[in-house]
Structure 1
Amino acid sequence: MTVTQGAGPEEIEVESGAPAPKVDQITVDFGREDEPSNRAPSKASKALGPPETVDSSAIYKLYRGATGRVKGEPHRVWVEFPALQLCWARYDQPAPAQNRASLLDLGACSYQVTGAGDADGETVHVEILSLVTEFGSRAVAPQGAATDSASEDGASGAILAERDPLPPLPPEPPEMRLSKTPVLVVDGSVGSAIREFAESLQQLLASRDSEGKSGLEFIQARLFQYLWRHQGTSCTEHELYQAQAVLAFNLDPKSGVAYVKDKLKKVSDSDVGEWLADMSQVKGGLDPTLLGNYFSRMDTIGVFKAFVNCLDFSEADLVAALRKLFDTFKPGGEGQVISRIIELFAESYFDQWSRNKDMLPKTFYANSDDIMTTAFSLIMLNTGLHVATKKVKKNASHDITMSPEEFVKNTRRVVTEAAVPDEALQAFYDLVKEEHLVCSNHVMQITDHSKQQQNTRQITTNHDLEHA
C-alpha cells in the first residue's frame, strides 16, 4: 500500500510501515496501482438536487390525486411521495399492497380522449405501464465439452484432456422494456382532474429517466416545501379558499359549509349543493361518508336537492343511476333519512328521464312515484341477493335467493306493468345480481303492512336484520 501525503505542491511517498511526517492532509488510495484515479463520479453518488424538468404544480397534482373508474369501480389515484409509490383505491379506503407500484418501476403513462364530440360525452382513458427486465438468451458453452473435430485416437484425446476448458461467454446485459399489460387503467371525464394527473405523471417519469432517481429522492425529502411553494405561487386566492374548504368539510361538515358560505360566498342552499356536487364528482376530495352524514340532517334538504340535480342521469338506466348516486356519498342515519334521499333522487331522475325516454331497457314512468317505488324494490332485491342470504346461509336448509319471478311479483304490488314492463324488471334483476348496490351501512327493504296499505314502505337496517 502506498500512502500519498499532500504537503503543498510536492508529494512525498512513504513505504508502508515507515513513520510518516506530520502533514495537514493525508489521502489514502486503496485502489490498484494500474487503475486510473481520476474516475468520473457515478450516477448513484450524485448529490441530491431539485429536478429541473418537473414543475411544483405537477408535484402538487400528483400528490392531490384524481378520481376515475378502475375496472368500472370509482377510485382515487394518487402518488404517495414519502414511499415513492403510485397508489389507487376506492374513495374512502386506503390503498392495499396490490394497488401500489413503485415510481422506479413505472415505464410510461399515456392517455387519449375518447367518446362523442361534445365535452359532456368525452372520456379520458389513461394507461400506466411498468418496466420489466429481460435477460439475454446467449448460450454458454459447457466447460470441457468435446468438439466435432476431436479425434478418437488416444493421442488426440490426451491433448484435449490437457487443454484448459473454454471460458464461458459473458452473459448479455439485462434490458428494460415496457410491460405488455398495463399496471393500471383509469377512465374519467374530460372535465375531471385525471387528464392533468396523467400529464403530470408523464413529466415526472421523463424527469426520472433524464436526471436519475435523485430527483425523486429530493422531492421525497422536501415534499412539503414543494406543496407550500405551489400553494403560494400557483393558486389564486379563490383556489386557496376552495382547498381550505374541502379540508374543513372533511374535518367537520358543518364547519366546512360555514367556511364555504363565508369565504367562497356560496350563501344559498343551491350554491352550497352545486359546490358539493362539483367537489365530489369533478374535482374530488370530499369524504363520501362525511358527505352522507351531512345529508342525513333535516336542515340540508334544500342543499341535497340542488346536489342531486347536478348529477347527470341522462344516459343511465335506473340501476346505473342508483350506482352513481351512492358512488358520490354514503347515506347514514335512520330509515326516514334514506327514504327522503330516494324521494328527492326520484324527482331528479324523472326530470332527466323525461327528456330521454328512448334509453334501454324501455320504461314508461308516469311520475316520480313510479321511479321511487321501483328504486325501493331494487334495493330490497339487493338485500335479498347479497345481504340477507349471507346472514342466514348457515342455517338455511334450502336456497333462499330471490328468483326473477319473485322479484317481478313483489314489484307488481307497487308498480304497474304499464310503467315498468316485465322485460325491464328482468334486466334490472340481472344487473343487480351481477353486481350489488353499495348503498351504505343501511339496507332498505319494502314490505306490505296490509291490503289497504300496499304502497307503504318499511325501511329496515342491517341491525334489524341481524336481530330478526
Structure 2
Amino acid sequence: MFSQGDVERAIFDCEKQLQSCRLRLSAVNTLKGGAPSSVEDDAVILRKKVRMKGFEDNASLVSELQSEADSSVVSLRVGRRASLSSEAHEKIKDRIIRTFNLDEKRGLTMMRENGFGRTPQQTAKFLLATGGLNREMVGRALGSFYDDRGLESLRLFAEGVEMQGLPFVQGLRKFLQKFKLPGESQMVDRILEAFAKAFCKANPQDFSGPNAVHALAFAVIILNTDAHSHNLKQLAKMTKEQFINNTRSIEGCDELNPEFLGEIYDEITENEIVHQEDKHDEGNLFHDSVKEGWMRKKAAGAAAIAWRKRFFILTKNPPQLYYFEDDKSNDPKGYIPLENVNVSKSKKHKKGLELTPVKGELLKSVKYSRSGELVLGEHKVAELKAQSVEDCWEWYEAITRVINKT
C-alpha cells in the first residue's frame, strides 16, 4: 500500500499544474483506505494538455467544448451517479480516445453513452477539437456518417474548420489536415460534399455554388494521387492540359477559368497535399520529443534478469521517459518520471545507463495494466542498454539536459 507521499511523488506534470495535482490528492485521500488506484494519474493531465496543444485555430471551439463538458450533468447509465468530477470527466475522455483509436465505431458508441456525443454538435466538436485522436479513425468516422444525425455532425465538423478568406487549395489543405481520407469512394464523396458546402458558406463570392467546389475537390484529390503516389510511378502522369479538360468536362465545372485550373495543377503537382501521419499525430499524445529510439530495459523485480527491447520517447515537458512495445504502438507500456532523478553511465555495461533517485529514496515508475489503469512501482535503480556506445552517450546527454532543464 502506497502512502500519500509515495503517490504524490509518482505524479508529475508541469510546474503550473503541480498545485492542482496536490489539491486533487488531498481530496482523494478522504476516500476509504486511500488506495493508489483512486488517485488520478498525471497521464490524464498530460493528455488533457496535449489535446489542447496544436489547436489554436480552433481555440473558441475548444473553449466551448471544454466549458460545456466540464459544466454538464451527464447520465452515464441508469442508476449511476449523474454528475462527474473534473477528474472522472478526464478519465472517461481519455478512455474514449484510447477506444476510438483502436475502433472508431466503438469509440463513437462510447462517446454517446458517456455524454460526449449526445448531439451532432457535441460529436462534431469532439472529433474536431480533441487532440490525440487517430486521424485515420477520424476520417473513417466522418465517412461513416450517412443518416440525418450523422450528416449533421459532418456538416458541423466541416464548418468548424476556419476557411473564410482562404483560396480554394489552401482551404482544402487545411480541411484535410484534420483527418485522413478513407479509402472508400462513397465516404470520400460525402466528406468532400460537406467541405464544398462549408467552403462556399465561408467564401460565397468565390464560386457559383457547392456543386462546382465538390467536383473540383474530387478532381484535385485524383490529381494529387496521380502526381505523388508511389504505386503509380510506372504510369504516365496527368498533364496540365488533361487536368483542365477533364475537370471542365465535369458538370458544374465548365464555368471554371482554364488559367485558374492551371494554377491549381501547378500548386498540387509541386506541393503534395499531405495527410499528416506522423506518429505524434496518430494517438500517441507525445509532442516535441527530445529523443526517440530503441533501448533495452531490465525487467523490474529482485529476481528479474531479462532485458526487454523497448522503443523509448524522452519528453521535456513533462520530464519523463516513456517506453513502448515497439515504434508503431499508440500507447506506452509505462514511463519513468525524471524529476529528482540522476542519470549515470553503467559500470557493468559499456552501453548501459542507470537512473537512480537523487536523495537515496526509491525510484518511482508507472506501468499501464491491460485494462489501461496505472500501476505505480518503486525501485532502487532503472537499468537501460542503448544500441551502441555512441547511442548510449547521446541518451545520457539528452536525459541530462531534460533533468537539468537546459
TM-score norm. by structure 1 comes to 0.40
Which structure has the highest helix share of the two? 2
Larger radius of gyration: 1
TM-score norm. by structure 2 comes to 0.46
